[in-house]
Every structure is written in C-alpha cells, then in structure tokens.
Chain A
Amino acid sequence: EAGVVQSPRYKIIEKKQPVAFWCNPISGHNTLYWYLQNLGQGPELLIRYENEEAVDDSQLPKDRFSAERLKGVDSTLKIQPAELGDSAVYLCASSSVWDNEQFFGPGTRLTVL
C-alpha cells in the first residue's frame, strides 16, 4: 500500500510569488490534513477535510492561503503571495474513519527568498 504522496519535495521561490503543493492521501482515507511545521517545532494544523468538505480551517491564513479537495481525494494547498515567514515544511496527512492514526507524507520544504 502506497503511503501519503506529496509533491514537490522542495520548492524555492522569491517573495510575492505564488506556490502550490499537492497531496495524494492513502487510498480509502476520507480525512485529509494540511500541517505547517516550522524548524524545531511540532506540526500545526492548517486545515482538515472530511471528504471534500473543509471542516476545520480556523488556523488557515485566508488572506493568502487557500486549499481545495474537489473530488474528496487529492488536495492542493496554495499560497499567494508568499512571504518570507512562510518558509517551512508543509505536511499532508490522512486518516480513515475507522482509526485515529494519522499517516504523514514526506512534506514539502518551502524556502521563500
């Protein structure tokens, strides 16, 4: 069984540019999460989807961040425009209705110059 897939693994952009991250969860997992992990800290939830519905986006900075999960499978997280402080690792995770366990992807390391 394939794990959570994310792309790209690394991204370097200049400030004010847009950037997008993609996540493919484990097959059959209806819950998908996007976390932000700053260096030396634990992951922080940005948004959680149940199927295609965003059920918790209270921590998502909506002025510049957006996300979608149109068919309830893959998801995209976008930042426009990026700021220097957005440099971090963006982790995607998924879980099933039967279990609390969240499986993480390898993350996308974003560097904003």
Chain B
Amino acid sequence: GENVEQHPSTLSVQEGDSAVIKCTYSDSASNYFPWYKQELGKRPQLIIDIRSNVGEKKDQRIAVTLNKTAKHFSLHITETQPEDSAVYFCAASDNQGGKLIFGQGTELSVKP
C-alpha cells in the first residue's frame, strides 16, 4: 500500500523567512496530494492541493511542487508570519478510493 514520508518533523524559522516541507510517496498510482494545516486542538484544514497532471500550484504565499518521476512533493511558504505556526500534514490519495495516507506531520514555528 501507499506510504508517505514527511520531513522535517520540526521546523523553526524567523518571521519573514521561507519554510519548505518535503514529502515522498511510494505508490505511483497516487494522483492527488493535499496539504493540511492543524492548529493545536483544532481540526485539519486544507490549505492547498495538487493533482498529478500539474507540476506546481500557487496560492498567495503558499505553493506546492510535485515531481512524479521522483515521487516527491513539497510545500513552500514564503514571507512566514507567526500565525503560520501549526502542524502541517501532507497526504496522498489514488483518487479512486479517496483514502488519504498522511505523512507524520511537521511542526512549524515562526518566531517574531
């Protein structure tokens, strides 16, 4: 079955710097890759997603890149702000079943 590895597990940056979180997946059939942000004690919320027919997607300060050949995808946050501090999860799905396989999470801390 699918396996998703996420790195790093913790990331600390200064406000205004960029943050990059990387994930790899094992199943070449996976074609949907969402990223969720989860604040302490709150529900996971989708911040951006990408499908396998595109290599990059941007939404304001957030971007995701996908390399299907290498089976990895990354989240890029520019001009980080303290409110970006949270745990970020990547996930992969084969679309057919809708089942999301999540990475282990990255705790991002943005220091003012």
Give me the interface of A with B, judged by CB distance under 8 Å. Answer: 4, 31, 33, 40-45, 48, 55-56, 91, 95, 100-107
Residue numbers in B under 8 Å from A33 (CB-CB): 98-99
Complex Cα spacing A102 to B51, Å: 14
Q: State whether B104 touches A102 (Cβ < 8 A).
A: no
Q: Report if B102 contacts A (CB, 8 A).
A: yes
Which residues 92-112 of B have a CB within 8 angstroms of A? 93, 95, 97-100, 102-105
| Residue from B43, B98, B104 in contact with A100 in the complex, judged by beta carbons closer than 8 Å | B98
How far apart are the CA atoms of A105 and B38 in the complex, in Å? 12
Could you pull out 25 A-B pairs where Cβ atoms are within 8 angstroms? Answer: A31-B98, A33-B99, A41-B105, A42-B102, A42-B103, A43-B100, A43-B102, A44-B102, A48-B97, A55-B97, A56-B97, A91-B44, A100-B32, A100-B51, A100-B95, A101-B34, A101-B46, A102-B34, A103-B46, A104-B36, A104-B44, A105-B43, A106-B42, A106-B43, A107-B43
Residue of B nearest to A50 (CB): B98
CB distance from A39 to the nearest CB of B (A): 11
Residue of A nearest to B51 (CB): A100
**Contacts A91-B43, A101-B34, A107-B43 given; does A45 touch B100 at CB 8 Å:** yes
Question: What size tier do the contact residues of chain B reach?
Answer: 20 to 34
Q: Are A102 and B100 in contact (CB under 8 A)?
A: yes
A95-B89 in contact (CB<8A): no
Shortest Cβ distance from residue B90 to the other chain A in the assembled complex, whole angstroms: 8
Minimum Cβ distance to chain A for residue B2 (Å): 11
| Chain B residues, CB < 8 A from A95 | 98
